[in-house]
Structure 1
């Protein structure tokens, strides 16, 4: 036997043998078919026998022998499969699918799947008709209604066979379905019947969903009558996996099936859309740890893209609004991040006509969504910030598609919503975060709206310097820091992208003192203060100085920086030195007229009580000499 299975692969791969088979006449080919079928069947039988013996033997010589035999038998089976033409292969497989042993039936179906997957190019009409002859048998096996050939077919064996048949059905649909649509119509009905079974094996159910989705994609609108049964079953499977995502393979199958159906019939999802949007949003934030987790997330991204691009706004926008309210009341608030991603992508592909038609609805929705921070004051700041950030991203995507005339009233309405009398102070955090994002995206165009913000910004900066003494301050220290960072980030973007001399003399006078006073605002503690000074405040003040339209405004600003060098806190004096050096670095030779005024302050800090401040002052003097190109000793 060992010699036989060593000889057969070599024979079947021999060019001389293959040439002789190819030269056979039509009558000889017909006579060969029973022999080929018998060879295939016996090879399958021996593969099964060798596999069983290999598993039963312990680690001894017998085990090694059966493993070697199994390897050679599989090699022989592969060669036989390659040898058979489709006209010989299909009748052989069809006959073996009725074999008495379930494992051999399963192996025959696997061979069919391999044949369907490895085919290069389309099947001819005659070949497609031939392949369709196995459809009925596959359906019987998949639905568990085929008569068992022996009494040894366990529940596990039957489940494996059903899974294998479902995969073959899906591949058959994909391979020949476009020319055989009518033949696949009964498949959906069979899959729905299968999904209604009690105690259905999870893997079988997952395979049935994928098979049904494949047929829906093939039949298109002809599958619409089946949606009232199919989609509830699919969404039910998703809900089960969402509540207990233990079987990520099942979850992947359900999400893939939903994506396929949504892509095929997007205009017929309305009755189920709210449920779909909620399930997709919840799944988007589910922790998935296995290797399949990334595949699930990838399928979810494709599904969100399909929904965002294929569904009309009159259907999707109300569904998103309803889902937002439902998720707020559930234990899945973090799913709002995924929901906002869907809305953002939908907004990005809206036409101008659709945008104008639904602008009022979107404005109302965003006003409600932006209020999230104010209504969730006790929630962790990080989670609130993440959800609020995604709402802001979606709103910015909307703003980028609006004209100036359309956006202006919306912006001022949002400002009144945040800063109006009686408005919760938490809204100011949201507004200035939004303003910072808009300033960064709109760049120089934001100055068209920013003039309205100068006085409120100055007042807010002044108030933030004294939050510790305001007994009525509803903000925590962390929230006050976030408000200050957002405000500074907004101002930095305005100054950075200013090309129209936005900072007039009047606006400079309004902002200078309150802006420079932030050098002395140690809100949040020393570490946060240092980060804020380095990342936001120093760049903001420097850019403010460069943007001054009136050069006479530079002297008061410079004086305010120098005044901070007399502050009692060494950290503030240190920050003032950093600010002075950065300002001189940007102004370069234009700083020379301001230098004499700075010398007395630098001279004092050269002998400061703080060693760090003294060393920093010496560093500043050395850098100034390099920047200005002359020694400064004569000034001291």
Structure 2
């Protein structure tokens, strides 16, 4: 049968003219009223009409070879309009017809026939539309007949899934052949897709949706439509879509849009949806804690869904999406909303960076370059956002606790990122940050406040340490890079490293305004870390030294301190290569030191208050940096410092911040530097300026003078034989001059004991290196010096006592250090010892109120006439004499003994007479003078050792007799001291003391009846020990 399209059109026109309600009419209400009068025959007539229409549509569906089929598009859309727009009427009719069918037994309802006709009609339109793609002539007139608004309304009005899917299929076909037609309704179509996904999602519907999405998306993009807007449509309806339906819908949408281009936007929209809901849109004070907040975030469907989506892709897809995600979050413009989005995003990024896939690809080298570039870009984004979080604290009202935890999380993310970065990538990332076009990022970011370059490079240090282990620890996940790449930089890394260092130097030299100071400090600190981490790249660092050195004299203390520290680091690495910059370095260092010294001196002179204390404490890092720089200069360039040694020594010896009593850490570091000076600089260069510093050290005080002699002592200990021969006389002369300070009593020296200790130590170090030929004349000069004041003044004046105290302090140390070698020199001291022990008087010198005529200097006496005690100076001197003699007796073991019979007899009475000497009044007030207990112990050991050294009973008997005679003194102390000496002799001589028992026992008998319990008890102890030693009871002889 032959048909033409014109015949079909006429048939359709006749159908439109029928008043049959089942076809449909725009006058639904009128037809509905007409239907109420239908009888059973009219129902059958309606069904016949529907059957006729079905047959006609089936024929058109099968008759694909009709010529000019496209002319049917208009009439068919008109028929479609009648079918769908009158559907409410059809529902009523269908109910009536069903009632009739229930009674007549008709098998097919009108409703099913209507749906069948609708679906067939849509299939015909789809087939005709598809054929348009093969027609070469223009289709403009035909395309104008497509009523897309009608199709959208049809899809919304129908409740049948199959019919709706057919509408979607037709829309997909129209989108392919007439994209411009679709563009006018693109938003409505996309919204329709999202709404339909809520209610229908079977395998067929899924395929239909995917085809429609694939067709619609190109149209959307060709309209320059925003991907975000399209994705937002689907995100808005996702909460209403069943959970198992969400993933395939979004995955196909992303696949159509391109995962690389759209995944980041989707994540941004999901997180925006999350924070806009009740959970995170609550006021700050309702967010109980960071842990509470993060735990709630991770269970929200948006966060879970984002994780599920990302798991469907390789890290080559989702890793760049993290960069785009951060790029879309702008804290500075959107306030709290963006701040919260960043919070969720950082949690997501932190979790994703633990994915082992990245580590595997990096270790295998697979697509490593792309991953490195992406990680570098991610690092830049995190640093920029970290800056925004910090800089927006005044503009964005958000919980301080949450802000702090967020910054800490971002630092952790940065730490994980840097672990996976290769050196060249890391350096390039830093370079980009330094070259950032936005000056606010360079000047206001203040990397030192959240992640300064120093902190970033500190992460490098940790990365290098951790990179020794090539395998991840058990149960540990995270990024790692090859450790060897950090130890030995490749050519690309070296080039990037050099460029980065130059950028840092530019920041250091940038002087546009003072607001960049904090960034300069961060830059210089970063340079310091780089120097210590990569010490072998001399050529790069040598270009940086001059720039850093120039800023040492900056008025900003923090910046100046950082420059000084970094200068020291550069010198440590460059060594002699830094020599061309040495004049500039020393000029700036010494100038800066003088400025600081002047400010400290001014504070000291005018008294310290809270403000000045704060000022000096704020400069503690500067002092530390100066010491570090000097340490480096002295260690690496010590041989070239001759022109600067005077300034260096003045700083190290005279500056109050580097002396005892200052900050312990500064003092300790200064000690290291001073010791290094004596070790690294030759004696020929160091000794002249050190000796010439003596007069200034006296003016500065006892601490400076002690430090000067401590350095001199350390220098002496390092001197070789030739240096000793050349310089020992000069050193000894200075020590002798310093020993006279006790007599001179300079106002600036408050603690002469400490000063004298260092002077004597230096003298001892020197004498230990001298031969006897060199030592003997020096010692004779020392004796002459000690007695010179006596001869000049004609008596034993108080000034001579001071000089004698200093002299015998030296003698005591010489005897202690040289031991038996020094004993022969006591023959030169014998007369002096006797004179000082007796005070040039008879043994009654200490008898109360007994005046003797003596050769004293006019107006001076060794005795305090009010209480009959010796002066505290005499007490001190005699203690030193006794201590020296004790050492002499202890080490007098040679063949030619000093303590022969003659010397024994001469020394016996002066020494034993000290048992009855009363100590000075208020002795405890003089901390530097030996206490009564110390002197008592010394007397016992000195007399006892004298007996032991004598070694013969011929000398023991007079000694024992003299001691026993002191036990009859009226003074309890003298009696106890006598008994203690007897006890010492018994314990030391043992059986040899038995020859002395006959003389001793009568004295013990008297002491056993002494009224003083301590005396009586001590006598009983001695008696028991004698009885034990002799083996018999001695009480019968008492």
Give TM-score scaled by structure 1 length: 0.89
Q: Which is further off, 106-115 or 93-102? A: 106-115
Mapping 1:86-235, distance limit 5 Å: 86-99=423-436, 100=438, 101=441, 102-104=443-445, 106=447, 107=451, 109-118=453-462, 119-120=464-465, 122-124=487-489, 126=491, 127-145=493-511, 155=514, 158-181=516-539, 183-197=540-554, 200-235=555-590
Q: 1:484 aligns with which of 858, 875, 878?
A: 878
Separation in 2, partners of 1:377, 1:579: 41
Separation in 2, partners of 1:405, 1:565: 47
Shift of the alpha carbon at 1:284?
7.2
Separation in 1, partners of 2:375, 2:934: 79
Shift of the alpha carbon at 1:285?
7.4
Separation in 2, partners of 1:46, 1:74: 11
Q: 1:571 aligns with which of 957, 969, 973?
A: 973
- The answer to whether the 8 Å contact 2:820/2:893 transfers is yes
- Paired position in structure 1 for 2:418: 81
- The answer to whether the 8 Å contact 2:458/2:529 transfers is no
- Paired position in structure 2 for 1:586: 988
Relative distance call for 1:372 and 1:128 in structure 2 (3 A) is farther
| 2:756 pairs with 1:388 | yes
- The answer to whether the 8 Å contact 1:238/1:255 transfers is no
Shift of the alpha carbon at 1:55?
8.0
Partner SS, residue 562 of structure 1: helix
Separation in 2, partners of 1:344, 1:460: 30
Q: Which is further off, 441-450 or 430-439? A: 441-450
Partner SS, residue 573 of structure 1: helix
Structure 2 gap ranges (5+): 1-340, 466-485, 604-615, 794-798, 863-869, 925-929
Q: In the TM superposition, what whole-angstrom CA distance separates every residue of 1:148-180 from its partner, at most 9, and x where no partner exists?
A: 8xxxxxx4x522211111111122233334333
- Paired position in structure 1 for 2:166: none
Q: In the TM superposition, what whole-angstrom CA distance separates every residue of 1:66-122 from its partner, at most 9, and x where no partner exists?
A: 334333222212111212111211111100123332354623623542255343573
| 2:739 pairs with 1:370 | yes
Shift of the alpha carbon at 1:204?
0.5
Partner SS, residue 523 of structure 1: coil
| 2:711 pairs with 1:317 | no
Partner SS, residue 569 of structure 2: helix
Partner SS, residue 402 of structure 1: coil
- The answer to whether the 8 Å contact 1:11/1:17 transfers is no
Partner SS, residue 141 of structure 1: helix
Separation in 2, partners of 1:53, 1:630: 99
Mapping 1:257-268, distance limit 5 Å: 257-268=629-640
Mapping 1:254-403, distance limit 5 Å: 254-283=626-655, 293-328=663-698, 330-376=699-745, 383-403=751-771
Shift of the alpha carbon at 1:492?
1.0
Separation in 1, partners of 2:496, 2:920: 76
| 2:965 pairs with 1:621 | no
Separation in 2, partners of 1:17, 1:437: 72
Q: In the TM superposition, what whole-angstrom CA distance separates every residue of 1:372-407 from its partner, at most 9, and x where no partner exists?
A: 212117787x71111011100000001111122221
- Paired position in structure 1 for 2:902: 506
Q: 1:540 aligns with which of 939, 942, 949?
A: 942
Q: 2:355 aligns with which of 1, 4, 14?
A: 14
Greater relative contact order (Cα < 8 A, sep 6+): 1
- The answer to whether the 8 Å contact 2:361/2:368 transfers is no
- Paired position in structure 2 for 1:631: 1033
Relative distance call for 1:592 and 1:108 in structure 2 (3 A) is closer
Partner SS, residue 880 of structure 2: helix
Separation in 1, partners of 2:935, 2:446: 73
Look at both structures and tell me which one has the larger radius of gyration over its CA atoms.
2
Partner SS, residue 295 of structure 1: helix
Partner SS, residue 510 of structure 2: coil
In angstroms, what is the RMSD of aligned CA positions? 2.9
| 2:887 pairs with 1:493 | yes
Q: In the TM superposition, what whole-angstrom CA distance separates every residue of 1:125-158 from its partner, at most 9, and x where no partner exists?
A: 523332111112111212333x68xxxxxx4x52
- Paired position in structure 1 for 2:65: none
- Paired position in structure 2 for 1:453: 829
Shift of the alpha carbon at 1:30?
4.5
Partner SS, residue 630 of structure 1: coil
Relative distance call for 1:515 and 1:70 in structure 2 (3 A) is same
Partner SS, residue 6 of structure 1: helix
| 2:790 pairs with 1:411 | no
- Paired position in structure 2 for 1:39: 378
Q: Which is further off, 162-171 or 607-616? A: 607-616
Relative distance call for 1:56 and 1:572 in structure 2 (3 A) is farther
Separation in 2, partners of 1:30, 1:377: 75
- The answer to whether the 8 Å contact 1:284/1:338 transfers is no
- The answer to whether the 8 Å contact 2:525/2:562 transfers is yes
- The answer to whether the 8 Å contact 1:503/1:549 transfers is no
Separation in 2, partners of 1:207, 1:564: 71
Q: In the TM superposition, what whole-angstrom CA distance separates every residue of 1:190-231 from its partner, at most 9, and x where no partner exists?
A: 23432344xx21011011112222233344444344333322
Relative distance call for 1:210 and 1:628 in structure 2 (3 A) is farther
Relative distance call for 1:81 and 1:532 in structure 2 (3 A) is closer
Q: Which is further off, 558-567 or 14-23? A: 14-23
- The answer to whether the 8 Å contact 1:54/1:67 transfers is no
- The answer to whether the 8 Å contact 1:561/1:576 transfers is yes
Counting matched residue pairs gives 617
Q: In the TM superposition, what whole-angstrom CA distance separates every residue of 1:344-395 from its partner, at most 9, and x where no partner exists?
A: 1111111111111112222222222222212117787x71111011100000
- Paired position in structure 2 for 1:151: none
| 2:1005 pairs with 1:603 | yes
Separation in 2, partners of 1:626, 1:30: 95
Give TM-score scaled by structure 2 length: 0.56
- Paired position in structure 1 for 2:817: 441
- The answer to whether the 8 Å contact 2:701/2:748 transfers is no
- The answer to whether the 8 Å contact 2:553/2:591 transfers is no
Mapping 1:21-32, distance limit 5 Å: 21-23=362-364, 25=366, 28-32=367-371
- The answer to whether the 8 Å contact 1:12/1:83 transfers is no
Q: In the TM superposition, what whole-angstrom CA distance separates every residue of 1:12-71 from its partner, at most 9, and x where no partner exists?
A: 22222321344455xx5444455333311221133234445678889xx83443334333
Separation in 2, partners of 1:33, 1:124: 16
Relative distance call for 1:225 and 1:52 in structure 2 (3 A) is closer
Q: Which is further off, 29-38 or 419-428? A: 29-38
- The answer to whether the 8 Å contact 1:320/1:339 transfers is yes
Separation in 2, partners of 1:406, 1:606: 56
